[in-house]
Structure 1
């Protein structure tokens, strides 16, 4: 452990340039296998902490999918007979704030704290992870929190609508159709204390954790971590579940009802990304499409106020989509405009001038933007799989290496199929409300009119 002190001290007190704000970090493992990443910055007086635990939704079946989320909430339920408010007060006394997030692949604890109390804050986090008692009352109370977070109890009507494939957002609906997402909303009522205890025992082990600390680092941090987090016992984690593969068939076009009456609609034209496509090329292509949609749909045709392109992942499959918020009366015109954009790329490739401009601004943003401690910590959290032991990828070089030819090849491969069109809109437009209202009123008045006529007769 002593060999770490000299390089860490040099790292802590060496000058840092803006050009080196992301890629270079100090990374090592504690003796029990826990990963540690340090990033000193010139933002004095504070630190951003991320503890990433390698367990998430995708490690469990659809029935038990909420287990890691329930476990995450329980870690904030209180210590030593106290409740959630008492635990929050302890963190506030240290000047910090914390939260946690469960995703498909990990559960991450997010802390912002003063530099002066960084070790005490980590003490409190360690206490929460190791000393939180899982009793029936806490579990049942926390289940109610998750139910409220998810919009209330899962009604029979909601389950029916889910099975009719009309109640979800466009991208989630496609993921369900392709077998990449659960067909029903995951429930918590059936989850047990034994399952939670097993989850904590199986997955909350040092070799399945990475601690990221960014900011004004305490030089005593390595010794502290070795003494505290480094004393946690380790063992192998269970094998991770195989992620579902994309399968079909999925409807080429589907309209999803988002209400009864309304004049608005949202279009999603979704394309599965090729498995071997370069990530930087896809990032630039996504930015190119956002710019093209803005120029065409908003500025020139005035069909959509805020069209956008987006990359998203479900299970082990990524998608790129073209999206637009529109008036429902403009649906056909918007689809045609998007089709013309895609056909132009298929036939002629990307516009060289627009691509060069998009690539130039993407690279420039890395130079003129100064990330905060929190932004850097979040970046390392999201890019952990790309860490080579010393450096994260150099984003500027990665973007600079993408040629126009490579971007065109990626676009043609991406758009070689027709994709999937999902349209979110209310069942009826506002004009339909008047005749329906009149018909309903007539249906209600007719029996009274007949009854009155009989009495007079």
Structure 2
């Protein structure tokens, strides 16, 4: 979303032009047409018509992710995601994927802290087939001990490849385990290796039986479709599936992270070429779309620090002082749990992590003491808001936006409000959230201590990694 021509455009556009652009983006008809339906069994259906090409994206979002797991079975949400492709009595083995591929479509799935989702993208004429297949495995999945034992080995190998053998991923995992004292976000989505090694087929079956139900799911369909036709199709395929007694997201027991009482530090030794520094500050996520203002200010702050070639971290630390080889900032305002504002960097050759941390702290202090200019604020607002709006460029991104909001306790109806709140952020609010949340008592510092790289033979994966 941040391609070169857009960066150039924003850097050369006049301030008045940017203000006009923001208003035009927010009032765009791209947000106008989602249709919402609720089946008798509790399944929510959201349909967005986009007739630019004869393509449709269908996604089913289950409101259950790793945040809902308990100790001893971490990773089970992701393991069940893998098992969902093993078939039903009607569609056995890998026939699901073969049918989608034969229709010229693509399909996959993803598990997060907050939800698990499955999707297909294909020609609109194949939507009935895709919906029939997905509805079938919502209630008729066959989980056998034999297939589970095969797939758990795939997941363990995925963990080795993507976390254990990736220094930065390993550092992030260890940092999250330190940053959170009690909240389930401390556990990795893929699970701890010991839990995977001791997981049993009954754990996957129990997860499926508990959470995979129409009243715990949102079906999102975006593309060249008629909303009423999609509703009838959903009723046909999903309508007969019985609901289950389970808790809605907002009714589940609160999992409040205790206040942090001092800086936490962790150093990890792992094979790598260069050191790596992550500074994570505890921060809030959106709880009340209309009443909150801090998450919106933090999102704009992310754009001030990172997000484009002229952002502060890159300009000051990479191009000017050259203390850093690279820098980045990241923050998520949409989550079921608390958020963390991340700042990370790689020191330049000859510079230390200690020097780098001090340089990052200096940039934070500049914002607290000097604030940001109205010109900078307006430019960054336009970039951040445009980033949201450019999600309308593809049917898949539109579906992701709708499903993610619905699966984290918010609503697709909040999109326009979120954009308006971003537009309303002031320079004083930027300073206030920086001063409030970028404090040592809410900080976790993680440092990668690079060890000599060793040549390893490629691992043999006993199956296919879904992602």
TM-score scaled to structure 2, two decimals?
0.77
Is 1:326 matched up with 2:326? no
Is 1:420 matched up with 2:444? yes
Among 226, 235, 240, the residue aligned to 2:244: 235
What is residue 19 of structure 1 aligned with on the other side?
Answer: 28
Decide whether aligned partners of structure 1 residues 383 and 399 sit closer, same or farther in structure 2, where only a CA change above 3 A counts.
Answer: same
Is 1:90 matched up with 2:90? no
Instruction: List alignment gaps of at least 5 residues for structure 1.
Output: 1-16, 159-165, 430-457
Is 1:337 matched up with 2:359? yes
Q: By how many angstroms is 1:309 displaced?
A: 0.8
Please say if residues 57 and 103 of structure 1, whose CA atoms lie closer than 8 Å, have aligned partners that are also in contact: yes
Q: Highest CA radius of gyration, 1 or 2? A: 1
Please say if residues 391 and 398 of structure 2, whose CA atoms lie closer than 8 Å, have aligned partners that are also in contact: no
For residues 226 and 370 of structure 1, what CA distance do their matches in structure 2 show? 27
What is residue 191 of structure 1 aligned with on the other side?
Answer: 199
Decide whether aligned partners of structure 1 residues 112 and 428 sit closer, same or farther in structure 2, where only a CA change above 3 A counts.
Answer: closer
SS in structure 2 at match of 1:105: coil
For residues 150 and 171 of structure 1, what CA distance do their matches in structure 2 show? 11
Q: How does 1:55-454 map to 2 (within 5 A)?
A: 55-80=64-89, 84-151=93-160, 168-170=170-172, 172-179=174-181, 180=183, 181-182=186-187, 184-185=192-193, 187-218=195-226, 219-237=228-246, 240=252, 242-243=254-255, 245-246=257-258, 251-259=263-271, 262=273, 264-274=274-284, 278-290=294-306, 291-311=311-331, 316-327=337-348, 329-331=350-352, 332-365=354-387, 370-384=392-406, 385=408, 387-388=410-411, 390=413, 392-417=415-440, 419-427=443-451
Q: By how many angstroms is 1:251 displaced?
A: 5.0
Please say if residues 27 and 390 of structure 1, whose CA atoms lie closer than 8 Å, have aligned partners that are also in contact: no
Q: By how many angstroms is 1:316 displaced?
A: 2.6
For residues 409 and 22 of structure 1, what CA distance do their matches in structure 2 show? 31
SS in structure 2 at match of 1:267: strand
Instruction: List alignment gaps of at least 5 residues for structure 2.
Output: 1-25, 286-291, 454-467
Decide whether aligned partners of structure 1 residues 58 and 252 sit closer, same or farther in structure 2, where only a CA change above 3 A counts.
Answer: closer
For residues 422 and 328 of structure 1, what CA distance do their matches in structure 2 show? 19
RMSD, aligned CA: 3.3
TM-score scaled to structure 1, two decimals?
0.78
Q: Number of residue pairs matched?
A: 403
Moved over 6 A (4+): none
**CA deviation profile, 1:96-154 (whole Å, cap 9, x unmatched):** 22111121221111111110110111111122232221221111111111111111799
